[in-house]
Amino acid sequence: MPSISPAVVERLAEYAAQWTGFAPGAIRREQIRRGAERLLGQGATPEQLLARAGAADPEIVGHFCDTISVGETYFFRNPEQFRFVAEEVVPALLRSRPPAIRCWSAGCATGEEAYSLAAAVLGALPPSNAPAVEVLGTDLLARNVEAARRARYEAWSIRPSAGPLPPSLLEPEGGGAFRTAPEIRAHTSFRRHNLLGPPPSTRAFDVVFCRNVLVYLSPSAAEAVCANLTAALAPGGVLVVGAIELDRPPPGTEPAGPPELGAFRLAAARPNVPARAEAAASGSPVVDAARHPVGVTRPAPVRPPGTALAVAEPVAVHLKAIDLIERGLRQAASGILAELCRTAPDYLPGLLEQALLWTHAGQPRRAADRMREILERTADLPAETPVVGPEKLPLAYYRASAEAYLRHGRPAPSPGGDFGPREAAGKGRP
Ligand SMILES: C[S@@+](CC[C@H](N)C(=O)[O-])C[C@H]1O[C@@H](n2cnc3c(N)ncnc32)[C@H](O)[C@@H]1O
C-alpha cells in the first residue's frame, strides 16, 4: 500500500473542513490518515484520492465526513431544554391555535434528539383539538439518518443525566435494546442535509434544535449555519443551541430564558425579511430563506477550566484537551479533563483520558480511582455498546482498559495496538 504523507493528510483535512464547516482543530489528522489508508488499501493512490477529493466525489466526501464526524447523543440530553419547550414554547404556540407545530432537529446524529423533541411536544398538548406535530431530524451522514429511521437504540442512548424519560418514548425490544414507540415515530421523519446549505424545508419551523454542532465549526461556518437556522424559523419561533455555543443571540433573535438555556426567539415579525415572515405565517412556501442576512454570531470558545461547563459538548472539550496534550501542555489539559469529568461523568472517554494523564504524571492512585469509576458506571451495560468519543469504540474497550490497568498497572491495548484513547486516537502523542 502506498504511504500517505503528512502533506496529503493536511490537504484532505482542508477538504473535510470545507465540506463540513469544521474548524481545523476539530479534525483529528490521525483519523484523516486512517480514513485515507482505508481507501489506499482498496487500491487507490494518494494522487487519485486528492483528485477525487478536489472534484468533491460524493463517495470520498461521504467517507471523510463519516471519518471525522462526532455523533455523541442520547435521549433528553440537557433535559431543561426539553422542559422549556414543553412548559413555555408549546403553551405559547397553542394560544395562537396553529394547525401544526413544526420542529427541526438539525444535526440530529442518530435521532435521539428528534424523538425526544417529538415526545416533549406531544406530551405538552391538550387531549383534544391538538395541532398536528411534525418533527424533522436531519444530519450530514447517511448512516446516521438510516440509524435514526431504524429507531433502535442500546442502553448507552439512555443516560442518568437525562433524568426519567417519558414512559411513552421507548418500547423494549429484547436483548437490552429499545425502539422508539410507534406513536412518536409517526410524527418524526429524517433526511440527509448539510447545515451549510439552505434549510431542508420551504415551510418554516416553530422550534429548531441545533445542539452540539456549532461547537465543532469554524467561526465563519458557524455564522453561516446560524443564518440558515434562523432563516428557517417561523415568526416568534425558537432556536435552541448548546448553552456555550453562542456568545450572543443570532441577528433578529433575543434570548428566550436565561443565557445558559441557549434558547433564542425570533421576533414575531421581522422587518428585514418581511416576505419570508408573511409567507411562513400564511403557511406558504418560504421564499429565498437561504439569503437571510448572515449575522456576526460566533461559537463561544470552549470555556477555560473552572467555569461552568454544564452543557458543553464532551467530545469537543475532549478534543481541546487532546490538542493541549499534543502540544505538551499537560497541566492545562488536566484542568480541562477534570472539569469534563465533573460535568459529564457519563462520558467514558474523558474518564479514561484523565486516568491516562494521571498515569503519565506518576499519580497511579488517582488513575486507579478513575478506572474503578469506569467499571462502576458500565457495570450493567452491554459490552458491545458503541461509545462515542474522538473515536467510536465499544464499551468493552473502556472496561478492558480499566480492568487491565487495575490488574497490571497499564491499560489494555487499543484496537490499533496502542494504549488508551489518546494513543488510539492520535499515535505519537506523548
Ligand atoms: C455531537 S452530534 C450532536 C447530536 C445532537 N444534536 C445532540 O446534541 O445530542 C453532532 C452531529 O452534527 C452532525 N453534523 C456535523 N456537521 C454537520 C453539518 N455541516 N451539517 C449537518 N450535520 C452536521 C454530525 O454528523 C453529528 O451527527
**343-396 per-position pLDDT tens digit:** 888 899 999 999 999 998 899 999 999 999 999 988 888 888 888 888 888 899
Q: Which pLDDT does position 409 carry in this prediction?
A: 76
Please give the average per-residue pLDDT across 118-147, as a whole number. Answer: 96
Q: What is the pLDDT of residue 269?
A: 64
Beta carbons within 10 angstroms of residue 315's beta carbon: 24
Decide: 230 and 292 in contact? Cβ < 8 Å: yes
78 touches ligand 1 (CB under 6 Å): no
Does residue 141 line the site of ligand 1, with CB under 6 A? yes
Predicted pLDDT at 283: 35
Quick one: pLDDT band at residue 175, thresholds 50, 70, 90? confident
**Quick one: which of 137, 121, 131 has its CA closest to 85?**
121
* Cα angle 364, 415, 75; round to 5: 85
The letter for the amino acid at 24 is P
Could you tell me if the CB of 262 is within 6 A of ligand 1? no
Task: Mark whether 162 and 192 lie in a shared domain.
Answer: yes
Categorize the per-residue pLDDT at 413 as very low, low, confident or very high, splitting at 50, 70 and 90: low
Model pTM?
0.81
| Same domain? 118 vs 249 | yes
Q: Which residue has the cell 465540506?
A: 19
Number of domains in the chain: 3
At residue 100, the pLDDT reads: 97
Residue nearest to atom 17 of ligand 1 (CA): 140
Q: Ligand 1 centre from 109 Cα, in Å?
A: 5
Q: For ligand 1, is residue 92 a contact (CB within 6 Å)?
A: no
Report whether pLDDT(6) > 60.
yes
CB of 396 shorter than 6 A to ligand 1: no
Calculate the CA dihedral of residues 241, 247, 249, 254 and round it to 10 degrees: 90
Q: For position 240, what pLDDT does the model report?
A: 98
CATH number at residue 265: 3.40.50.150
Q: How many whole angstroms from 323 Cα to the centroid of ligand 1?
A: 21
How far is the centre of ligand 1, averaged over its atoms, from the C-alpha of 263 (Å)?
18
Does residue 160 sit within a domain? yes
Whether residue 136 lies inside any domain: the answer is yes
Ligand 1 mean position, distance from CA 211 (Å): 8
**Same domain, yes or no, for 86 and 63?**
no
- Protein residue closest via CA to atom 16 of ligand 1: 20
pLDDT-based confidence at 87, cuts 50/70/90?
A: very high
Q: Which atom of ligand 1 is nearest to the CA of 65?
A: 25
Q: Could you tell me if the CB of 188 is within 6 A of ligand 1? A: no
Residue 235 has pLDDT above 70, yes or no: yes
Judge if 214 and 357 occupy the same domain.
no
> What does the pLDDT read at residue 415?
46
Say if residue 423's pLDDT is above 90.
no
- Mean pLDDT on 238-249: 90
Given 257, 291, 325, the domain boundary residue is 291
Q: How far is the CA of 54 from the centre of ligand 1 (A)?
A: 24
Check whether residue 187 and residue 270 sit in a common domain: yes
Rounded mean pLDDT of the chain?
85
51-85 pLDDT tens trace: 999 999 999 999 999 999 988 899 999 999 999 99
Query: Which residues lie below 8 Å from residue 379, measured CB to CB, with a gap of 6+?
Result: none
Contacts of 351 (CB under 8 A, 6+ apart): 341, 345, 370, 373, 374, 377, 398
- Judged against a pLDDT cut of 70, whether residue 282 lies above it is answered with no
Q: Do 145 and 166 fall within a single domain?
A: yes
69 lines ligand 1 (CB under 6 A): yes
Percent helix / strand / coil, the chain, rounded to 5: 50, 15, 40
User: What's 386's domain CATH number?
Assistant: 1.25.40.10
Q: Are residues 29 and 90 in the same domain?
A: no
Q: Which amino acid is at 149?
A: R
Q: pLDDT category, 427, cuts 50, 70, 90?
A: very low
Q: Report yes or no on 380 lying in a domain.
A: yes
Residue 300 lies in a domain: no
Residue with CA nearest ligand 1 atom 9: 73
Q: Are residues 264 and 176 in the same domain?
A: yes
Q: What is residue 126's predicted lDDT score, i.e. its pLDDT? A: 95
CA–CA dist 426, 91 (Å, integer): 48
Residue 244 has pLDDT above 50, yes or no: yes
Q: Is residue 303 part of a domain?
A: no
**Is 77 near ligand 1, meaning CB less than 6 Å away?**
yes
Does the Cβ of 144 fall within 6 Å of ligand 1?
yes
pLDDT at 428 exceeding the cut of 70: no
Considering the domain boundaries, does residue 20 fall inside one? Answer: yes
Shared domain check, 249 and 374: no
Any ligand 1 atom below 6 A from CB of 35: no
Going by alpha carbons, the residue nearest to atom 13 of ligand 1 is 107
Segment 182-197 mean pLDDT: 98
Percent of the chain beyond pLDDT 70?
84
Least confident of 146-150, 205-209, 275-279, 393-397: 275-279
| Ligand 1 and 71: CB distance under 6 A | yes
Q: 135: domain range?
A: 79-291
**Looking at the domain assignment, is residue 296 inside a domain?**
no
Q: Is 140 in the pocket of ligand 1 (CB under 6 A)?
A: yes
CA-to-CA separations, 295 to 60, 172, 216, 400, in angstroms, rounded = 32, 45, 18, 48
Ligand 1 midpoint to CA 361 (Å): 34
Return the higher-pLDDT residue of 223 and 305.
223
Query: C-alpha cell of 168?
Result: 411513552
pLDDT surpassing 90 at residue 328 = no
Atom of ligand 1 nearest to the CA of 313: 1
pLDDT at 344: 87
Q: Is residue 176 in a domain?
A: yes
| Cα(314) to centroid(ligand 1), Å | 13
Looking at the CA of residue 242, tell me the nearest atom of ligand 1. Answer: 8
> 281 or 101: whose pLDDT is higher?
101
Mean pLDDT confidence for 261-288: 54
Task: Mark whether 241 and 95 lie in a shared domain.
Answer: yes
231 lies in the same domain as 107 = yes
215 and 282 housed in the same domain: yes
- Decide: 228 in ligand 1 pocket, CB within 6 A: no
Is 145's pLDDT higher than 90? Answer: yes
Q: Residue 255: is its pLDDT beyond 90?
A: yes
Residue nearest to atom 12 of ligand 1 (CA): 107
- Determine the pLDDT at residue 293: 27
For residue 251, the number of C-alpha atoms closer than 13 Å in the C-beta half-sphere is 15
